[in-house]
Amino acid sequence: MGITKDDFNRLLKLVGLNKKAFAEKTGLAYSTVANWGGKDKPVPPWVPSWLENYRKAATLESVKGVICPDDDAKEGG
């Protein structure tokens, strides 16, 4: 069983994305993402795990920035 449109919207909000940003990051057309959750267009089963991995990656980048603040300066120069 897939997730509902409301679940999808809640997960997007939880990770700080909107449908447009999600579409851009995944390379999908916005219209595709916007239509998910209807009777004929279920949210694909890979979406919850993708969002969970995105959340984890964002958290790790945030922690890295606190622990190793000079790494960003080194990468830019």
**Are 3 and 51 contacting, i.e. CB atoms less than 8 angstroms apart?**
no
All structural domains of the chain with their residue ranges? 5-76
| Angle 48-53-56 from CA coordinates, rounded to 5° | 125
Q: pLDDT above 90 covers what percent of the chain?
A: 65
- At residue 77, what is the residue type? G
Q: Cα(43)–Cα(35) distance, rounded to whole angstroms? A: 9
pTM: 0.77
Summarised one tens digit per residue, pLDDT across range 5-40 is 999 999 999 999 999 999 999 999 999 999 998 888
